[in-house]
Amino acid sequence: MSVFPLTIIEKEDSPARLLELANVPLKSKWLATDFNEMRLALIELHGRSMYLADSNGKVWHIRKGNGNTDIAAFQQNDKIEAWVDDATKEEWIEGILMNNAFTGVADLEDKDVFFKTNGKIRLT
């Protein structure tokens, strides 16, 4: 069971708490701003590497391209990898999406949509 997507709300220190901690050295206290920075970092890390299903329901491991933030869509420069056929587990493929038109396995042969960076055939 995954805790993602995170549903933790942004935190805020009360004025009373800030007064209590006013004379405490920064290295010795944990403020809401620290917590919020960690929260945002976790959200970003989760969004950078995850699993996303294509239009046929096939699940791909995806690493979002720099600046890509839509975790519900394949985007140009995303790196993807998976077994081409989940049932046989015979062909592993990795590559980079060349545009936003990726819909699934049918696009793997289209060089305008998918650029293959690695692939392996499983010998049984």
Q: Which two tokens stand for residue 10?
A: 């942004």
Q: Mean of the pLDDT values across residues 68-78?
A: 92
Tell me if 57 sits within 8 A of 104, measured CB to CB: no
Burial annotation 98-110 (CB, 10 A radius, 16+ → b, else e): beeebeeeebbee
Q: Mean of the pLDDT values across residues 27-33?
A: 96
Q: Mean of the pLDDT values across residues 37-48?
A: 85
What residues are paired with 56 via a beta bridge? none
- Spans of all domains in the chain: 15-46, 49-121
Inform me whether the pLDDT recorded for 52 exceeds 80.
Answer: yes
Inform me whether the pLDDT recorded for 16 exceeds 90.
Answer: yes
What residues are paired with 95 via a beta bridge? 80, 116
Give the pLDDT confidence score for residue 46 in this predicted structure.
79
Give the pLDDT confidence score for residue 22 in this predicted structure.
95
pLDDT band, very low/low/confident/very high, at 48 (cuts 50, 70, 90): confident
